[in-house]
Chain A
Amino acid sequence: DGGITQSPKYLFRKEGQNVTLSCEQNLNHDAMYWYRQDPGQGLRLIYYSQIVNDFQKGDIAEGYSVSREKKESFPLTVTSAQKNPTAFYLCASSKGQRGGEQFFGPGTRLTVL
């Protein structure tokens, strides 16, 4: 059963700590994305990767970092430099580079205590 998994579903962090959100896909998609979702706002792009070992900053990359060592995996690290990290984080993937459907994971809700 193909899809995208994200873990954990809920994550609590103390201020000053880095945390890593997991994203795995078995759809054999080349492209993967991380979005941040805040109440009343659309999805804002944090980072994206078109191919293994390559990734690009999105609109709100400050305070975040990613890696793409495997095609299936695209973890996101929320660093202590991110000033307002409490949000719902969504990972997505798509087949290729041109406009087309993005498949989303179930999301991780991060709360900073």
Chain B
Amino acid sequence: GENVEQHPSTLSVQEGDSAVIKCTYSDSASNYFPWYKQELGKGPQLIIDIRSNVGEKKDQRIAVTLNKTAKHFSLHITETQPEDSAVYFCAATPGGNSGGYQKVTFGTGTKLQVIP
């Protein structure tokens, strides 16, 4: 099955600096890679996602890059703000043209702390 590894487990940055979180996956059939942000005591929320036919996607201060050959994808947050402090999860979902459930495999999470 799919295995997703996420690094680092914790990350502290100064406000205004950039933060980068990296994930690798094992199943070359995976084709959908969402990133979720989880604030303390809440459920995860999707912040950005990318599909395997795209190498990069950007949404304001957040960007995700995907390298299918190397099987890794990264989350980039620029100009970090204190409200960016949270746990971030990457995930991978296998593709395929058939129907049926396609399991989402999550990384172990990165706790990001933005220091004012």
Name A residues whose Cβ lies closer than 8 Å to a Cβ of B: 4, 6, 31, 40-43, 45, 48, 50, 56, 58, 90, 92, 97-107
Contacts A42-B89, A100-B32 given: A106-B42 contact, CB under 8 Å? Answer: yes
Question: Can you name the residue of chain B whose Cβ is closest to the Cβ of A50?
Answer: B101
Q: Are A43 and B49 in contact (CB under 8 A)?
A: no
The listed residue (A42, A58, A101) touching B46 by CB distance below 8 A is A101
B6 cross-chain contacts in A, Cβ below 8 A: 42
Q: Are A101 and B44 in contact (CB under 8 A)?
A: no
The listed residue (B4, B95, B106) touching A99 by CB distance below 8 A is B95
Interface of chain B residues 22 through 54 with chain A (CB within 8 A): 31-32, 34, 36, 41-46, 49
- Apart from A99-B95, A107-B42, what are 7 other A-B pairs with CB-CB below 8 Å? A41-B109, A42-B6, A42-B89, A43-B44, A43-B89, A50-B100, A101-B46
Question: Can you name the residue of chain B whose Cβ is closest to the Cβ of A100?
Answer: B32
Q: Are A99 and B101 in contact (CB under 8 A)?
A: no
Q: How far is the CB of A30 from chain B (nearest CB, A)?
A: 11
Q: How far is the CB of A14 from chain B (nearest CB, A)?
A: 24
Question: Can you name the residue of chain A whose Cβ is closest to the Cβ of B49?
Answer: A101
